[in-house]
Amino acid sequence: MPAVVEAQPKNQLPVAAKLAALAALSRTVSGFELSETAESVGAGVQIDSSSGKELRRVFYFGGDDLAALGAAVRWAAVQDADELHLLSEVGVGNEIARRSSYINTDFKVTTWETSDGEFAELQPSELSNPPELPDSYRRFTDLIIAAGAKPVDDYGRLVAEVNGLEVARVTKPSESLGEETSDGETVASQTDEPVLEIGVGQADRELHQLIHGVIEPLNDESPEATDNEALLGRLTKVVEDVAQMRTTGGVDHPLTRVAQQRWIRSLVTENPGLVDAAELVPVPPLRPRETVLGVDAAAAVGTSLDGDPLVVVCSSGVDLDLAAEAGDYRHRYDDQAKLVVLVPERDLYLVEPTILELLSNVSVRPAPDL
C-alpha cells in the first residue's frame, strides 16, 4: 500500500531559500532566469520570448504541503500562465501529480523534486485505500448507537459522532493513563483489547480518563450495550450534552463552529433527498485526520434517484484545494460518478466558480443550514 502523506506542512524554509530553489528550477527547465518573484507566496514568473511568442511559466514552491496545488493553480491562473511548475517533495509531490490530473486548467502542471542540486519530474502515485475497520472495533457499534451517537469509519478507526462532531473513538492503546493503587502509586494498565476513549479532542479524552479511571475494554463475553452499563452511561451523558449545544439553529457555541463539514455530511446522509440521492453513506477520509477540529472535507457515496453512482463532498469555508480533494474522493470510488460539492450558502459565491472551472461532471450546491 502506498505511504500515507501528511496534509500539513512540517517545516517552513526562509523565503530566500524558496526563491533560490525556484530560480534554479527555472534555469533547469528552460535556461532562463525568473523575470519576477512574489515573496508573499513563494513563487516566480519566467517570461520566455525566444520563440517570438511570449510564454509565461509560473514556478511555485509547494514543499511538503499537500494542499499547495490549489493555491498554486489559482496563482498561476491570475498570472495568465502557460505552464505551472510546482516544486514539492517525494511522496507529497507524487500525490500532487495525481491530483493535478483531475483538474481542468489552461496550462500544463508539472511537479518537481530536488536532490543534491538536481531536479526530477515526479510521477503520480496511486491513491491509498483506507485500512479495514477491525472486527474488534465494530463490536462497539451497538453501544455507540445505544448512546445516541453515530458510528463512523474514520480511516481504520471507529468514532462516535454527534451531528458530525467526534465525541469518542475506539482505540487499541498499548498503555492507558494508569490507575492509582491504595498506597498512592500510579500503575500503568496494559491491554491489547480495544477501548472506547470518550471526549471531544485529545485533551478532553485524557481529562475524561483521568476523572473516571482506566477505561475497561468491552465485555468480551457479551458486548451488548446493556452489559456495559457504566461505559454506556458515560458516553450517553457526553452525547446528550453535545447534542444540546450542537443543534441546528441553536445557540452560538464553540462546538457549533468546528467540524462543520462533517456536520453537513451527517445531515445529508440522514436526508439524501437533499442532493437528489436515493441513499448515501459516509466514507473514511483520504488520510488519517490530524485533529478532531480540522477543516478537511468530508465525503459520502451512494446512488442518485436515477440509480447512477454519486459522490458528495462536504466542505465549509474557502478551501483552495477543495477541487483536488473532491477529485481524489471521486477517483477512489468511481471516476465516472456524478460529483456534488456542498458548502454553506455564505461560501457559495467564492467556491462555486472555482469548482465548476476545475472539475467536470460536478455541481455545487448550498448545504443545509446549521
Reported pTM: 0.83
pLDDT reported for residue 224 = 56
d(CA 274, CA 269) in angstroms, rounded, equals: 9
Work out the burial of residue 57: count CB atoms within 10 Å of its CB; fewer than 13 is exposed, 13-18 middle, 19 or more buried: buried
> For residues 141 and 3, which has the higher predicted lDDT (pLDDT)?
141
CB 152 within 8 A of CB 140: no
In sequence order, the β-bridge partners of residue 84 are 58, 109
b vs e for 6-17, b when ≥16 Cβ sit within 10 Å of the residue's Cβ?
Answer: ebebeeeeeeee
**Mean pLDDT estimate for the chain:** 85
What string of DSSP letters covers 59-78? EEEEET-TTHHHHHHHHHHH
Mean per-residue pLDDT for 9-27? 84
In sequence order, the β-bridge partners of residue 108 are 83
Residue 317: closest CA among 350, 365, 360, 277: 350
> For residues 261 and 213, which has the higher predicted lDDT (pLDDT)?
261
Which three-class secondary structure string do you get for 166-196?
A: EEEEEECCCCCCCEECCCCCEECCCCCCCEE
Q: What is the pLDDT of residues 193-252, one digit of tens each?
A: 788 888 786 656 666 666 655 555 555 555 455 557 878 888 898 898 888 888 776 667
pLDDT reported for residue 367 = 92
User: Is the predicted pLDDT of residue 322 greater than 90, yes or no?
Assistant: yes
Terminal Cα-to-Cα distance of the chain (whole angstroms): 38
User: Is the predicted pLDDT of residue 352 greater than 90, yes or no?
Assistant: yes
pLDDT confidence band for 1 (50 / 70 / 90): very low
In sequence order, the β-bridge partners of residue 88 are 63
Q: What is the pLDDT of residues 29-72, one digit of tens each?
A: 999 999 999 998 899 999 988 877 889 999 999 999 999 999 99
User: Is the predicted pLDDT of residue 183 greater than 80, yes or no?
Assistant: no
Q: Poorest-confidence range of 30-34, 118-122, 208-212, 323-327?
A: 208-212
b vs e for 290-325, b when ≥16 Cβ sit within 10 Å of the residue's Cβ?
Answer: eebeeebbbbbbbbbeeeebbbbbbbbeebbbbbbb
Identify the residue whose cell numbers are 517570438: 52
User: Is the predicted pLDDT of residue 28 greater than 90, yes or no?
Assistant: yes
In sequence order, the β-bridge partners of residue 165 are 162
Mean per-residue pLDDT for 342-361? 93
